[in-house]
Amino acid sequence: MEHRQVAAGGVDARIEALKKQYGKDLVILGHHYQSDDVIRHVDIVGDSLELARRIPDIEARNIVFCGVYFMAESAGLLARPGQKVFLPDHGADCAMARMARAEDVQNVLEKLAAAGRKIVPLAYVNSSLAVKAVVGRFGGAVCTSSNARPMLEWAMKQGDAVLFLPDRNLGRNTARALGIPAEKQVIIGADGKGLDSEDVRGADLLLWPGCCPVHDSLMKPDMVDAFHAHFPGCRVIVHPECTPEVVQRCDGAGSTAYLIKEAERAAAEGKEKALCIGTEFHLVHRLMEKLADRINIIPLAHASCPDMEKVTAENLLATLEGLEQGRGAVDVEESLKAPARDSLVRMLENC
């Protein structure tokens, strides 16, 4: 144990030394779901929307993104000429993003277009670069959990219906908040079959059958009920990637930024003894420690993202040591850049 602690201390010291060495030529970004071992070295921490908004203003030659692959791809799309984006572990993917393949999305949109309706695709940022490019070519945009509601409102005005992908839960929860009737929502098959059905033809919102395994499978309605029973009067707030059945039992739902602000507000007001938060555990644990002297933050479930955990202080160090050799650089396929960037820019321009 002692050897591991010394080694970890050496890693931390070496990372900080390299940050000092590169100075203004290096910026490290990190998503809230990263572990504390990584977050302590990050210059800008945020959710997907906040980090995307920060990219155009970064002047550093090297941008290291501590998160998962689709986030680094988005950073690469928005980076300036001459900038390089690095990801410490290219195996840090996203299970939800893998549930929507670009060729399947293209096939579905072509079939829907052939039926004579203008279907506008709206892709959750948890999607691949290739999917974002398809969405961009069909006049659609990207959204995050922070701006899903205004972006869905925008998309609804652009055509006859919207294809929301890949997260069916975020799509359904956002639709409910906008008052879109359940009978006007249809979950379609990723194989493109059944698109000529009466239900699909009459729907205002078509939903891809994807989800986040962490929020969808590990957080259940009975957990919310149990917390309310054991802590009468205390609130439960969750991420909208949870199922509608969970969200409807809760006292609030929103993005990681919303969950953080609600926890900090509750702690500052001092009116609540406890607050239960349902999202990725690293973020909840960080809030538990930060606010421990003012409010008791309780996780709804010990749910951690295995892909986010692939980025470690050790492979962050390896990336920094290999910056000049391009170790960990994220390459954005040239043919996908323009349409994928269009989908991102439409989001940034409309929210």
- Rounded Cα–Cα distance for residues 139 and 119 (Å): 9
**Does a cis peptide bond (omega within 30 degrees of 0) precede residue 150?**
no
Token pair, residue 152, equals 């869905």
Asked whether residue 192 is domain-assigned, the answer is yes
Q: Does residue 223 share a domain with residue 182?
A: no
Q: What pLDDT score does 89 carry?
A: 97
- Rounded Cα–Cα distance for residues 285 and 291 (Å): 10
Pairing mode, if any, of strands 26-31 and 62-66? parallel
Q: Does residue 120 share a domain with residue 84?
A: no
- 167 phi/psi in degrees, rounded to 5: -95, 105
List CB contacts of 233: < 8 A, sequence separation 6 or more.
none
8 Å CB contact between 123 and 163:
no
List CB contacts of 187: < 8 A, sequence separation 6 or more.
168, 206, 207, 208, 209
Print pLDDT tens along the chain (351 aa).
333 343 556 999 999 999 999 999 999 999 999 999 999 999 999 988 788 889 999 999 999 999 999 999 999 988 999 999 999 999 999 999 999 999 999 999 999 999 999 999 999 999 999 999 999 999 999 999 999 999 999 999 999 999 999 999 999 999 999 999 999 999 999 999 999 999 999 999 999 999 999 999 889 999 999 999 999 999 999 999 999 999 999 999 999 999 999 999 999 999 999 999 999 999 999 999 999 999 999 999 998 999 999 999 999 999 999 999 999 999 989 999 999 999 989 998 987
Q: How far is CA 20 from CA 37, 46, 83, 118, 285, in A?
A: 18, 22, 19, 52, 29
8 Å CB contact between 129 and 77:
yes
DSSP string covering 141-175 = EEE-TTTHHHHHHHHHTTSSEEEEESBHHHHHHHH
Q: What pLDDT score does 7 carry?
A: 55
- The residue to which tokens 């961009």 are assigned: 136
Q: Does residue 101 share a domain with residue 207?
A: yes
CATH number where 64 lies: 3.40.50.10800
98-120 per-position pLDDT tens digit:
999 999 999 999 999 999 999 99
Q: Does residue 206 share a domain with residue 107?
A: yes
**Domain range spanning residue 86?**
2-93+308-331
Q: What pLDDT score does 4 carry?
A: 38
Asked whether residue 62 is domain-assigned, the answer is yes
Q: In the chain, how many domains are there?
A: 3
8 Å CB contact between 64 and 70:
no
Asked whether residue 347 is domain-assigned, the answer is no
Asked whether residue 238 is domain-assigned, the answer is yes
Asked whether residue 340 is domain-assigned, the answer is no
Pairing mode, if any, of strands 26-31 and 235-238? unpaired
Q: Does residue 200 share a domain with residue 103?
A: yes
Asked whether residue 350 is domain-assigned, the answer is no
Asked whether residue 345 is domain-assigned, the answer is no
